Amino acid sequence: MENQFSQERKGSEVIVVTSGKGGVGKTTTSANVGTGLAKLGRKVCLIDTDIGLRNLDVVMGLENRIVYNLVDVVEGSCRIKQALIRDKRHPGLYLMPSAQTRDKSAVTPGQMVKVIEHLKEQFDYIILDCPAGIEQGFQNAIAGANRALVVTTPEVSAIRDADRIIGLLEANGFKQIDLVINRLRMDMVRRGDMMSAQDVVDILAIPLIGIVPDDENVVIATNQGEPLVGSDSPAGQAYSNIVHRVEGKEVPYLNLDRGISFWTRVTGIFHKA
């Protein structure tokens, strides 16, 4: 069955999830997009490229099943297959964890490309969770990728870093760079105290692929180690939409403005520039 499937599929997509700034939601986005694609029946390999500070395993709830990791693979201490952790909840979903006790210099971009080339034979999607920063960890993460999701929050510092990252991705020949705006708070946007999704898109000038509202369910899901994509929560729905857009489908944007009174809409005019 799986073999049949992999023969039919088109070439695999290698997507790097990156942001520049730390703490904006790269790992959460990687986990949810990867899980969401697996829920659609795709074969997905998530790779944590943050060597020394691994997190994707915890967000995925797979931290107790790690035996080998990415560094073991590139050093030849194990076969690729041995380092892949299968997520029992979703057929077709695998995680390649990072090493916790090593540093970024343990892997080179060339080695990453080799590992990815090998994984491409078996997976529809390879999703790389990039570390913060623009040093070697970033170079490793983008080396084998052909597509990028840039995650930002509607804050000055995160957008500035995202802009820098977009510049670097373009300089590295990336043709498909899409923007995920995370932790948007519509109540603050309405008050004029947060940049809107449109403001951020205007500044960064790359295609938008998703808006994830600030949602406490993300924290709860992370506590439980189970990505909330597809669940009946605002963020769960938003991630689900991103997954479909990653697959190339057109999905309308969630109405984040639900429940605003007429008065707020009227007074909202005054907050606009």
Partner 1 sequence: MRHFFRRRSSRQVAKDRLKILLISDRVNCSPEMMELIKNDIARVISKYMKIDSDNIEILINTRGNKSGRTVKPSLYANIPIVDVSVPELHTESGK
Instruction: Considering the complex, state which of residue 83 and residue 256 has its C-beta at the smaller distance from partner 1.
Output: 256
Asked if residue 193 binds partner 1 (CB under 8 A), the reply is yes
How far, in Å, CA of 169 to CA of 145, rounded? 10
Inter-residue contact 163 to 203 (CB < 8 Å): yes
User: Of 79, 81, 118, 191, which lies in the binding site for partner 1, with binding defined by CB under 8 A?
Assistant: 191
- For the segment 201-220, give every residue that binds partner 1 (CB under 8 A): 202-203, 205-207
Inter-residue contact 200 to 156 (CB < 8 Å): no
Residue 150 CB, nearest approach to partner 1 (Å): 11
DSSP-derived pairing of the beta strands 44-48 and 93-96: parallel
**Tokens of residue 241, six digits:** 């939409």
User: Of 195, 221, 229, 256, which lies in the binding site for partner 1, with binding defined by CB under 8 A?
Assistant: 195
- For the segment 127-166, give every residue that binds partner 1 (CB under 8 A): 155-156, 159-160, 163-164
Closest CA to 126 of 103, 145, 151, 98: 145
**Binding residue count for partner 1, defined by CB under 8 A:** 26
User: Of 63, 75, 199, 247, which lies in the binding site for partner 1, with binding defined by CB under 8 A?
Assistant: 199
Helical pair 234-246 and 26-39, crossing angle rounded to 10 deg? 70
Instruction: Considering the complex, state which of residue 45 and residue 179 has its C-beta at the smaller distance from partner 1.
Output: 179
Residue 232 carries which side chain, given as an amino acid letter?
D
**Tokens of residue 86, six digits:** 């299968």
Task: Give contact residues for partner 1 (rule: CB under 8 A).
Answer: 155-156, 159-160, 163-164, 167, 170, 177, 189, 191-196, 199, 202-203, 205-207, 267, 270-271, 273
